[in-house]
Amino acid sequence: MSSDPIETRRGLMLVMSSPSGAGKTTLTRRLLEEDDDVVMSVSATTREPRPGEKDGKDYYFVSHERFREMIDGGELLEHAIVFENRYGTPTGPVKEALKAGNDVIFDIDWQGTQQMMSSASAIDLVRIFILPPSVKALEERLRNRAQDSEETVQHRMEQAESEISHWAEYDYVLVNDDLERTYEDLKAIVRAERFRRERRPGMSDFVRQLMEERQR
């Protein structure tokens, strides 16, 4: 992050959503690897840590009681129940990252995105939806991963229909028919959003100085 007052900016909240298999995870990982100003949001969860997972890095592991306290205390931007465990996004770490000028990526579904629209500043949010080029391509990608049973593939395809129906609720929609081109489009969105006037607090002072110079 630049220390130049003109370049100093507030970070953005980059919400990424898509049906499973559309390429969201690949795009997100690449952006995280190549852009030092981008960080991944760390969720809180009530599930037990898996081998190798570290508290505060992979997740914030909390009890069900503590999670309820976080909900009641307004400490979460969004939260949901997945397979009997709770998951949510703590507000504090996100605010700190934004203030430092870091962009925070959120890998959440349309329901989580709607919650964030109510709990976060609209100025901070940038919502991107990733679509597959076709239903056939999406199903092929799910099968080619060779990770899921036939039943799971069909379930994911059913979910995809519901998720895709919410595409119009996002600021940007990318059709991932070519990974390289889609990634370039994603970078273009991030770059353009970083230059929005609302995210550059130092620009007001700079313009004021320009006007004062003119009046001398």
* Predicted confidence (pLDDT) per residue in 140-190, tens digit: 888 887 666 888 888 888 889 899 999 999 999 999 999 999 999 999 999
Is 55 domain-assigned? no
pLDDT, tens digit (0-9, with 9 covering 90-100), for 27-38: 999 999 999 999
Token pair, residue 115, equals: 């919650």
pLDDT the model gives residue 147: 67
Is 30 domain-assigned? yes
Helix (H, G, I), strand (E, B), or coil: what is residue 90?
Answer: strand
Token pair, residue 18, equals: 């898509």
Distance CA(179)–CA(214), nearest Å, equals 48
> Domain limits at 31?
13-40+102-215
pLDDT of 201 > 90? The answer is no
pLDDT the model gives residue 5: 60
Q: Which residues pair with 38 in a beta bridge?
A: 103
From 48, 55, 41, select the one nearest 84 (Cα to Cα).
Answer: 48
pLDDT the model gives residue 2: 54
- Contact between 70 and 76 under an 8 Å Cβ cutoff? The reply is yes
Q: Is 108 exposed, middle or buried (0-12, 13-18, 19+ CB in 10 A)?
A: buried
- Contact between 60 and 79 under an 8 Å Cβ cutoff? The reply is no
Distance CA(11)–CA(128), nearest Å, equals 16
Specify the pTM. Answer: 0.84
pLDDT the model gives residue 151: 83
What Rg do the C-alpha atoms of the chain give, in angstroms?
19
Structurally, how many domains does the chain consist of? 1
Is 45 domain-assigned? no
Token pair, residue 158, equals: 């059913």
Is 52 domain-assigned? no
* CATH number of the CATH domain containing 122: 3.40.50.300
pLDDT, tens digit (0-9, with 9 covering 90-100), for 59-92: 999 999 999 999 999 999 999 988 789 999 999 9
Write the CB contacts of 123 (distance below 8 Å, at least 6 apart in sequence). Answer: 198, 199
Is 95 domain-assigned? no
Mean pLDDT of 97-105: 93
Is 127 domain-assigned? yes
- Contact between 134 and 157 under an 8 Å Cβ cutoff? The reply is no
Is 27 domain-assigned? yes
pLDDT, tens digit (0-9, with 9 covering 90-100), for 2-15: 556 667 788 999 99
pLDDT of 196 > 60? The answer is yes
Percent of the chain with pLDDT over 90: 63
Residues 15, 21, 26, 28, Cα dihedral to 10°:
0
Is 150 domain-assigned? yes
